[in-house]
Amino acid sequence: MSIASKYKGLSKYARTNIKTYGLVIILFAVLYPLSNAGLVSYSITGQLVPICTYIVMAISLNLTVGILGELSLGHAGFMSIGAFTGAILSASLQDKVGSDPVILLLAIIAGGILAGIAGCLIGIPVLRLSGDYLAIVTLAFGEIIKNIINCLYVGIDSKGLHINMKDAASLGMKGGRIILNGPQGAVGITKIASFTAGFILILFTLFIVINLIYSRSGRAITAIRDNRIAAESVGISITKYKLIAFITSAALAGMAGALYALNFSAVAAEKFNFNTSILILVFVVLGGMGNIFGTIIATALLYMLPELLRDVGDFRMLIYAILLIAVMLLTNSSKAKLILENAKLKLRSIFRKNNDGEVGSNG
């Protein structure tokens, strides 16, 4: 029995596992030595951690959009919560904990927990809605989070943390330093994120998401997506399973946010705006809604694309928009489906003819 047929004989769960983990591990195994040896240009090594965070963001958004079937337009909001939680925690732990990886780990965990709590607080009221209303409310929440962080001032001195919402001067600090400075965002962050940490976070995300999808809860979530009323009538608690998916997605986004913030020396709340949410949505839609493997490839490619095609510049977002519309039209319009099917059949018949010809010539 060949390896290929053995692979086909495996369960879908096992195949997804092999495919996705394999892809991530191979990518890491290739890129890590290359970047360490300095064989990759600086513009790419600088992008490695952001790519990891965007992959985690896209996988977690795919859980909401692809598996749960609800559109969340405020995903960057959860990333933002994680980012600023991580920045504040790492700044306050700097002098107390000596080891950078430990601080990074704690920051990521704290970011995940806080974003998860926010996801729960937002999810309980919001998930009673569905469709367009849910999308617009998640958008509203994203804007509210951005607005609040924009006027949040946090500083640290010997007495501990100072928080206020007026300005930096009224924090009343003696010495110390400012961590969060209103519209400027988090300033003076020590860069402790690393590519290895990003890689581990992706593996962790994959572990959580893939196991959730193929569990009893995951099947309940997809049942809600496919037919809410039917799912409800067989006794599936809509709110409970929607919340499970939504909170998991939010917590993972928070973790990615913490990693993202700790990769830069300063991060502003404006970075996590509606456009970022849309960018992640583009990754998810182009990678395939509900398809984790495709999401990883799409994110990595689309994130690197502008680096590789510098001339495109301004046209990048325009191309994304056109791709988004085109993918939706091609996959959902009945006319386009018909055309695609016909094209497939034609291609197949052409290939078959060629193959027959080869066989004939050999014989």
Partner 1 sequence: MTLISNLINGISLGSVYAIIALGYTMVYGIAKMLNFAQGDVIMVGAYISYICTTSLGVPALISILISMAVCTILGIMIEGLAYRPLRKASSLAVLITAIGVSYFLQNAALIIWGSTPRAFTSVVPFKSISLFDGQLTITPESLVTIAACVVIMVFLTLFTKKGKMGKAMRAVSEDKDAALLMGINTNRTISMTFAIGSALAAIAGVLLCSAYPVLIPTTGSMPGIKAFTAAVFGGIGSIPGAMIGGILLGIIEIFGRAYISTQLSDAIVFSVLIIVLLVKPTGLLGKKITEKV
**Residue 275: CB minimum distance to partner 1, A:** 9
Tell me whether residue 160 or residue 313 sits nearer to partner 1 (CB atom).
Answer: 313
Q: Pattern of binders to partner 1 over 312-351, x per CB under 8 A? A: --xx-xx-xxx-xx--xx-xxxxxx---------------
Burial class (CB in 10 A: 0-12, 13-18, 19+), 65: buried
Burial class (CB in 10 A: 0-12, 13-18, 19+), 50: middle
Tell me whether residue 145 or residue 192 sits nearer to partner 1 (CB atom).
Answer: 145
Tell me whether residue 82 or residue 142 sits nearer to partner 1 (CB atom).
Answer: 142
**Residue 86: CB minimum distance to partner 1, A:** 23
- Take residue 268 and report the two structure tokens written for it: 């502003």
Choices 3-11, 45-53, 155-163, 310-318; region in contact with partner 1 by CB under 8 A = 310-318
- Take residue 137 and report the two structure tokens written for it: 């409310």
d(Cα 297, Cα 363) in Å, to the nearest integer?
Answer: 42
150, 152, 51, 14: CA torsion to nearest 10:
-120
Interface residue with partner 1 among 22, 46, 101, 131 (CB under 8 A) is: 131
Interface residue with partner 1 among 10, 30, 128, 207 (CB under 8 A) is: 128
Residue matched to tokens 């859980």: 63
Interface residue with partner 1 among 126, 209, 212, 268 (CB under 8 A) is: 126
**Residue 14: CB minimum distance to partner 1, A:** 29
Interface residue with partner 1 among 274, 288, 291, 304 (CB under 8 A) is: 274
Interface residue with partner 1 among 18, 30, 121, 151 (CB under 8 A) is: 151
| 132 is a site residue for partner 1 (CB under 8 A) | yes
Tell me the three state secondary structure of residue 156: strand
Interface residue with partner 1 among 28, 52, 59, 69 (CB under 8 A) is: 69
Interface residue with partner 1 among 65, 180, 247, 253 (CB under 8 A) is: 65
| 63 is a site residue for partner 1 (CB under 8 A) | no
| 173 is a site residue for partner 1 (CB under 8 A) | no
**Residue 226: CB minimum distance to partner 1, A:** 10
- Take residue 6 and report the two structure tokens written for it: 């053995």
Interface residue with partner 1 among 125, 172, 188, 357 (CB under 8 A) is: 125
Tell me the CB-side half-sphere exposure of residue 169, using CA atoms within 13 A. 0
- Take residue 30 and report the two structure tokens written for it: 């290739």
| 229 is a site residue for partner 1 (CB under 8 A) | yes
Binding residues with partner 1: total (CB under 8 A): 46
Tell me whether residue 149 or residue 262 sits nearer to partner 1 (CB atom).
Answer: 149
Q: Pattern of binders to partner 1 over 30-59, x per CB under 8 A? A: ------------------------------
**Residue 329: CB minimum distance to partner 1, A:** 6
- Quick one: which H or E segment has residue 181? strand 177-181
Choices 76-84, 127-135, 189-197, 292-300; region in contact with partner 1 by CB under 8 A = 127-135
Q: What is the per-residue DSSP string for 303-329?
A: HHHHHH-TTTTTHHHHHHHHHHHHHHH
d(Cα 308, Cα 45) in Å, to the nearest integer?
Answer: 13
Contact status, residue 72 vs residue 65, Cβ threshold 8 Å: yes
**Alpha helical stretches, state H, the chain:** 3-9, 12-36, 42-45, 48-62, 75-93, 100-126, 132-150, 195-213, 216-226, 228-233, 238-261, 274-287, 292-308, 315-332, 334-362
Q: What is the per-residue DSSP string for 125-139?
A: HHTTS-THHHHHHHH
Enumerate binding residues for partner 1 (CB under 8 A): 65, 69-71, 73, 125-126, 128-129, 131-133, 135-137, 139-141, 143-144, 147-148, 150-151, 229, 274, 278, 281, 285, 314-315, 317-318, 320-322, 324-325, 328-329, 331-336
